[in-house]
Amino acid sequence: MRGKKADPEFLSTFIVKCVSLNKTSQEEIVQAAQQEIHIIDLKIIEAEKLKLLRSKLLDVIGVFEKTNSSHKEEVKILSFFRMQHPKICKFICDMLRKDTLKVDSLYVTEFSKSDIMFCIKQLQEHKIVAKTGEYLIRGDKFNDYMKFVLCEG
């Protein structure tokens, strides 16, 4: 018992429990104790994993509850992920990355004209692109969108 005094009350209770389960030999009682230790060890491992997850969830809460400006930016960036037709938005931004582009040049693709117009409006609302006459240019948030949503530098 590793130099510790045994708890006679627990020992007695455990033996009575084993006997009630028809485990009467020394080997069976030891095996029952080992099985319970194994179950406890598994629960401890699970608890440690949950503690790690809890810590990470607290980080998430901390990021979104704080009011400093860097976190406000992160919250604003979340709205980029709610945009519809991400493939079309990516297509438009890829074209715009190269140069200013004429809106009409976007209509010669597999995407419908109405979907392209809808995406241009979304991109304008989020200040990812700006429209000047019949041309699209990069907006204030263009680089943020490319970096955080499209994961491109």
pLDDT for position 111: 85
pLDDT for position 38: 97
In 3D space, the residue among 98, 127, 133, 129 whose CA is nearest the CA of residue 116 turns out to be 129
Q: What is the pTM of this model?
A: 0.49
* Residue stretches of the chain with pLDDT short of 50: 1
pLDDT for position 73: 59
**How far, in Å, CA of 109 to CA of 88, rounded?**
10
pLDDT for position 67: 54
Architecture per CATH, domain 77-149, reads as Orthogonal Bundle (1.10)
**How far, in Å, CA of 77 to CA of 132, rounded?**
24
Per-domain residue ranges of the chain: 8-64, 77-149
Contact 144, 137 (CB under 8 A): no
Measured from the Cβ of residue 45, the count of other Cβ atoms closer than 10 Å reads 10
pLDDT for position 116: 87
Question: Chain centroid to CA 86: how far?
Answer: 19
